[in-house]
Structure 1
Amino acid sequence: MINLEEEIRNTNHSREKRNHFANLILQNPALLPQLLNICHQVDDEISCKASWGLEFLCKNNLETILPYLDSYIKILPKVHQDPAVRPIAKICEYLILAYYKEKNIEVRKYLTPSHREKITEACFDWLISDQKVAPKAYSMTSLYLLGTEFDWVHPELKITLENNYHDSSAAYKARSRMILKKIK
């Protein structure tokens, strides 16, 4: 019997440990609901480590999370610790890229309009709140693609990027310029 919490607590940010953890879940998909429950413990440090593992899992096999999207989407407005926001935002980017750019049939089947709206809300929240650059960059990419479906997103994204441009880091500015160029 696998003690998932112990496995998570023994995970660190190294690629090797995260990859081991992702493979553990891939080999034992029945553990995914428990993993998501741990990710929901947003005030506990364990949720950050669980989120790292979840991100690696999604990077290796995005389809694994699809039956559990409702549970994943519920995490979005709650996650607040920096080490957890980044992987959760990255998973949103994986989903949105798969849906709009790759036109992945499985993702298109599972990612409902409601899910896409919740991802849009979360991405705007990460973009306008005090977050590190990575979740903001992932959010910009996601929002740009979401804006190809939802008419109101591109104008709001443009305003947000222009308003935050001067007070932001070089990395933020670079991604922002790229997105603004695509919008125009």
Structure 2
Amino acid sequence: MNTPHVVVVMGVAGTGKTTIGPLLAARLGVPYAEGDDFHPQNNIAKMSAGTPLTDDDRWPWLDAIGDWAQGRAGLGGVVSCSALKRSYRDRLRAAAPGVVFVHLTGDRALIEDRMSHRQGHFMPTALLDSQFATLQPLEPDEAGVAVNVTGSPEEITERAATALTSLSEPTP
């Protein structure tokens, strides 16, 4: 990628979006935004209680992330966002054409183990099944790359940065 793009680091809970996102932003020399910070309080309360969000819960959250991404168009940035469904990614692309995705992928057992060791996060391990059930991986016509989450955060970040360089310029 020759010009600054907005990169959405996506994947189910526990894949490391909040760890890899800032590392990737630093590697690319662009700002980072934590997707969880865009959630309205009622979404956080639902997830904290173990209740999966509905699409209606997610639309305002996705719109807020899309607004941030649109504001970074031409400047570049990295934002974390689960972006589990194609329709969610389409909504982000509608707000910020040219956005690209880094889909963090991994074995369910590894992700569950990582989630069980997190401290102070509102997303309980009990919601992992609903995350995997909702997940629609990137399709061939979507600008993005899949990156496995095995290894250290630095190794994952390097794989993501390398994979991003292989993308051709997206068409808005």
The alignment's TM-score, normalised by the length of structure 1, stands at 0.31
Task: Compare the two structures and name the one with the higher strand fraction.
Answer: 2
Bigger Rg over Cα = 1
Task: Compare the two structures and name the one with the higher helix fraction.
Answer: 1
